[in-house]
């Protein structure tokens, strides 16, 4: 039986880093679902058509990590038909052998409510802005405003809003190093039977 780990949380909370490290430690597949929405936003034109026709090459563009791509992703992610077009791919991926780690906003609540382990990763706004500003070599105040705007939109939308699943384990990484956060996640996965 494949083992699915769902990791959700706000922008720059550390969920992507944790998801990658967890997948590597367990020998699982990893899907950064934010990349799907970033690719749809970056393609331009009709976002519903872009989501329905999304191809693997679209995820390999080198301009998907920017703050602008994040904002465009957050806007197209609020469109129900865009989300619907991406559900099957994510659910199939979640059942990859021997297991899969998916990170996003609605993995534990909508995509994989049956996941064997659900984590909700958070960190304070200031810590998240500092991390992302370092990563993108950008101004921290501008990044803070961008993250807050995106989180507010992602949490307030009608369809699949960002929120922890009821049975998610909360992991606040504000005062943790990457190594500590990853160690906590691996311990949780082992406890859950991975």
Binding site for ligand DC (CB under 6 A): 11, 33-34, 37-38, 70, 73-74, 77, 104-107, 150, 154
Closest CB to ligand DC among 43 and 107?
Answer: 107
Read off the tokens for 174: 């504000």
The single residue listed with the structure tokens 């703050």 is 67
Q: How far is the CB of 154 from ligand DC (least distance, A)?
A: 5
User: Which is nearer to ligand DC, 62 or 193 (by Cβ)?
Assistant: 62
Question: Coil, strand, or helix at residue 76?
Answer: helix
Instruction: Select 38 or 131, whichever has its Cβ closest to ligand DC.
Output: 38
Q: Which helix (H) or strand (E) holds 146?
A: helix 140-156
Considering the complex, what minimum distance in angstroms separates the CB of residue 73 from ligand DC? Answer: 4
Cα distance between residue 112 and residue 92, in whole Å: 10
Judged by beta carbon, residue 166 or residue 193, the one nearer ligand DC is 166
Identify each DSSP E strand in 10-131 by its residue range: 29-32, 99-104, 117-122
Name the minimum Å distance from CB 140 to ligand DC. Answer: 17
Least spacing, CB of residue 10 vs ligand DC, in Å: 8
Specify whether the CB–CB gap between 132 and 12 falls below 8 A.
Answer: yes
């Amino acid at each position: 039986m494949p083992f699915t780990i769902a990791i959700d949380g706000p922008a720059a909370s550390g969920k992507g880093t944790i998801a990658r490290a967890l997948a590597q430690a367990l020998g699982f597949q990893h899907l950064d679902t934010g990349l799907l929405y970033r690719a749809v936003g970056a393609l331009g034109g009709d976002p519903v058509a872009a989501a329905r026709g999304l191809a693997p090459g679209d995820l390999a563009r080198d301009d998907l990590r920017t703050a602008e791509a994040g904002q465009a992703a957050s806007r197209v992610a609020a469109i129900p038909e865009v989300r619907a077009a991406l559900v099957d791919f994510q659910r199939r991926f979640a059942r990859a052998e021997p297991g899969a780690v998916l990170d996003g906003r609605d993995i534990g609540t909508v995509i994989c409510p049956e996941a064997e382990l659900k984590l909700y990763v958070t960190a304070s706004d200031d810590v998240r802005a500092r991390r992302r500003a370092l990563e993108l070599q950008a101004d921290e105040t501008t990044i803070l405003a961008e993250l807050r705007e995106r989180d507010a939109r992602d949490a307030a939308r009608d369809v699949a809003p960002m929120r922890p699943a009821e049975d998610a384990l909360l992991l606040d990484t504000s005062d943790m190093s990457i190594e500590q956060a990853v160690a906590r996640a691996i311990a949780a996965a082992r406890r859950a039977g991975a």
